[in-house]
Amino acid sequence: MGFYANTILPRLIHATCGKGSIRRLRARIIPPALGRVLEVGVGSGLNLPYYDPAVVTELWGLDPSPEMLRIAARAARSAPVAPRWIDRSVEELPLESSSMDTIVTTFTLCSIASPEAGLRQMCRVLKPGGTLIFCEHGAAPDPAVRRWQDRLTPIWKRLAGGCHLNRDISGLLTRSGFRLTTLEATVVRKWWLAGYIFHGTATKQAGPKESDARSV
């Protein structure tokens, strides 16, 4: 699946995740990001138009996919804030502890191989009092729909770059050192089993255990 995963899939994701209600959702949740910002899973750069240069002092975009970063680099040419790129997975996040004011993750937790490990790294680099802005699809509240998500995830993740339909977004966040401050749910019917969207903000829980600091 090399050609599909490296060439076709990134373009499919870019086309699917940049339309309609999802684009409007990005336009609403991204502008509050401020200070030093890390976007985890920057993908093809669909969030880049919505960062506010009046309040963002530095922007880092992390993604393990070279093809996604190539698409994002083209998008960055017309973006209001010029990002710096990190070409690796979030589980290997090479930034210093407590160094970011805002972390942004949109449609990323579904495909991280070790989501709790990745979230712990995000928690590590977020400053005390900083904000995590998230927008993720996940497990449906309806048990019948959830059962279908569970059944189809093994097949779906092979076709969709490791994407899981059935992850418990709020549970992952709270187990990984975050405290939810806002949480909203939206259903995108066109996305079928991937259409249960959870978005909001979170901060560090008091006194999280941090791993060794790293720097780039």
Tell me how far apart the alpha carbons of residues 23 and 91 are, in angstroms, rounded to a whole number. 27
Show the beta-strand stretches assigned E in the chain. Answer: 35-40, 56-62, 84-86, 100-106, 126-137, 178-187, 196-204
Counts for the chain of helices (H) and strands (E), in that order: 7, 7
73 belongs to a structural domain: yes
Least confident of 12-16, 83-87, 150-154: 12-16
In this prediction, residue 16 has a pLDDT band, given cuts at 50, 70 and 90, of confident
Q: Which residue has the tokens 């030093």?
A: 36
**CB 63, CB 72: distance < 8 Å:** yes
93 belongs to a structural domain: yes
Q: What residues does 39 pair with on adjacent strands?
A: 61, 104
Q: Supply the range of the domain harboring residue 181.
A: 2-204
> What is the structure's pLDDT at 6?
67
212 belongs to a structural domain: no
> What is the structure's pLDDT at 206?
76
Q: What total of structural domains would you count in the chain? A: 1
Exposure on the CB side of residue 22, measured as CA atoms within 13 A? 22
- Please report, rounded to a whole number, the percentage of residues in the chain having pLDDT higher than 70: 91
97 belongs to a structural domain: yes
Radius of gyration of the chain from Cα atoms? 16
> What is the structure's pLDDT at 19?
74
209 belongs to a structural domain: no
> Where residue 182 sits, what CATH number does that domain have?
3.40.50.150
Q: Take residue 128 and report the two structure tokens written for it.
A: 């005390």
Question: pLDDT per residue over 91-132, tens digit each?
Answer: 999 999 999 999 999 999 999 999 999 999 999 999 999 999
> What is the structure's pLDDT at 208?
42
> What is the structure's pLDDT at 18?
67
42 belongs to a structural domain: yes
> What is the structure's pLDDT at 10?
67
> What is the structure's pLDDT at 13?
72
Amino acid at 114: S
31 belongs to a structural domain: yes
In this prediction, residue 4 has a pLDDT band, given cuts at 50, 70 and 90, of low
| Average confidence score pLDDT of the chain | 91
Residue 213 has pLDDT above 50, yes or no: no
Tell me how far apart the alpha carbons of residues 59 and 84 are, in angstroms, rounded to a whole number. 6
Residue 14 has pLDDT above 80, yes or no: no
Question: pLDDT per residue over 27-60, tens digit each?
Answer: 999 999 999 999 999 999 999 999 999 999 999 9
Query: Does pTM surpass 0.85?
Result: yes
114 belongs to a structural domain: yes
Tell me how far apart the alpha carbons of residues 95 and 93 are, in angstroms, rounded to a whole number. 6
